Amino acid sequence: MQEASFSNFIRTVFYVIMFYYLFKFLARLFLPMLVKKAVEKAGESFQKQQQYAQDAAWKKAQNNDEIIYKETDAKNPRETKKVGDYVDYEEID
Protein backbone atom coordinates (compact mmCIF):
# COMPACT_ATOMS: atom_id res chain seq x y z
CA MET A 1 0.00 0.00 0.00
CA GLN A 2 1.33 3.46 -0.93
CA GLU A 3 1.00 6.51 1.18
CA ALA A 4 0.02 9.85 -0.29
CA SER A 5 2.70 12.47 -0.11
CA PHE A 6 2.48 16.22 -0.43
CA SER A 7 4.71 16.28 -3.53
CA ASN A 8 2.49 13.75 -5.34
CA PHE A 9 -0.58 15.80 -4.46
CA ILE A 10 1.00 18.97 -5.86
CA ARG A 11 2.05 17.09 -9.02
CA THR A 12 -1.51 15.81 -9.50
CA VAL A 13 -2.98 19.29 -9.07
CA PHE A 14 -0.41 20.64 -11.53
CA TYR A 15 -1.38 17.98 -14.11
CA VAL A 16 -5.08 18.76 -13.70
CA ILE A 17 -4.48 22.48 -14.20
CA MET A 18 -2.22 21.87 -17.21
CA PHE A 19 -4.79 19.53 -18.77
CA TYR A 20 -7.51 22.17 -18.26
CA TYR A 21 -5.50 24.94 -19.95
CA LEU A 22 -4.33 22.63 -22.75
CA PHE A 23 -7.93 21.56 -23.43
CA LYS A 24 -9.08 25.19 -23.36
CA PHE A 25 -6.33 26.20 -25.82
CA LEU A 26 -7.06 23.33 -28.22
CA ALA A 27 -10.79 24.04 -28.04
CA ARG A 28 -10.17 27.63 -29.13
CA LEU A 29 -8.17 26.35 -32.10
CA PHE A 30 -10.28 23.47 -33.32
CA LEU A 31 -13.84 24.12 -32.10
CA PRO A 32 -14.59 26.87 -34.67
CA MET A 33 -13.49 24.55 -37.48
CA LEU A 34 -15.67 21.73 -36.17
CA VAL A 35 -18.70 24.01 -35.82
CA LYS A 36 -18.16 25.40 -39.33
CA LYS A 37 -17.97 21.88 -40.75
CA ALA A 38 -21.15 20.85 -38.91
CA VAL A 39 -23.03 23.92 -40.22
CA GLU A 40 -21.87 23.23 -43.80
CA LYS A 41 -22.96 19.61 -43.51
CA ALA A 42 -26.39 20.64 -42.20
CA GLY A 43 -26.71 23.15 -45.06
CA GLU A 44 -25.87 20.50 -47.65
CA SER A 45 -28.42 18.15 -46.11
CA PHE A 46 -31.05 20.89 -46.22
CA GLN A 47 -30.26 21.63 -49.88
CA LYS A 48 -30.54 17.93 -50.78
CA GLN A 49 -33.93 17.71 -49.07
CA GLN A 50 -35.15 20.83 -50.88
CA GLN A 51 -33.90 19.52 -54.23
CA TYR A 52 -35.60 16.17 -53.64
CA ALA A 53 -38.89 17.89 -52.76
CA GLN A 54 -38.71 20.12 -55.86
CA ASP A 55 -37.92 17.16 -58.11
CA ALA A 56 -40.81 15.18 -56.67
CA ALA A 57 -43.21 18.09 -57.15
CA TRP A 58 -41.98 18.64 -60.72
CA LYS A 59 -42.43 14.98 -61.62
CA LYS A 60 -45.89 14.97 -60.09
CA ALA A 61 -46.85 18.06 -62.11
CA GLN A 62 -45.48 16.54 -65.32
CA ASN A 63 -47.43 13.30 -64.85
CA ASN A 64 -50.71 15.17 -64.45
CA ASP A 65 -51.93 15.51 -68.07
CA GLU A 66 -55.31 17.04 -67.27
CA ILE A 67 -55.30 20.76 -66.60
CA ILE A 68 -58.51 22.33 -65.40
CA TYR A 69 -59.04 26.06 -65.59
CA LYS A 70 -61.84 27.50 -63.53
CA GLU A 71 -63.20 30.75 -64.78
CA THR A 72 -65.03 32.78 -62.20
CA ASP A 73 -67.50 35.46 -63.12
CA ALA A 74 -66.30 38.90 -62.14
CA LYS A 75 -69.92 40.07 -62.17
CA ASN A 76 -70.94 37.73 -59.35
CA PRO A 77 -68.39 38.01 -56.56
CA ARG A 78 -68.55 35.39 -53.89
CA GLU A 79 -71.07 36.18 -51.17
CA THR A 80 -69.78 36.56 -47.69
CA LYS A 81 -71.23 34.47 -44.95
CA LYS A 82 -74.46 35.93 -43.61
CA VAL A 83 -74.38 36.17 -39.88
CA GLY A 84 -77.81 37.67 -39.27
CA ASP A 85 -80.35 40.25 -40.40
CA TYR A 86 -79.41 43.89 -40.61
CA VAL A 87 -81.54 46.07 -38.35
CA ASP A 88 -81.64 49.81 -38.91
CA TYR A 89 -82.25 51.71 -35.70
CA GLU A 90 -83.69 55.20 -35.64
CA GLU A 91 -82.81 57.68 -32.99
CA ILE A 92 -85.85 58.92 -30.97
CA ASP A 93 -85.69 62.40 -29.38
Give the global pTM: 0.44
Angstrom CA distances, 8 to 1, 20, 93, stand at 15, 18, 104
CB-based contacts of 78: which residues, under 8 Å, 6+ apart?
none
Share of the chain above pLDDT 70, in %: 72
CB-based contacts of 41: which residues, under 8 Å, 6+ apart?
none
What letter does residue 87 receive in the DSSP assignment?
-
Is it the case that residue 48 has pLDDT exceeding 90?
Answer: yes
pLDDT for residue 74: 52
Mean residue pLDDT across the chain: 82
What's the mean pLDDT in 83-87? 73
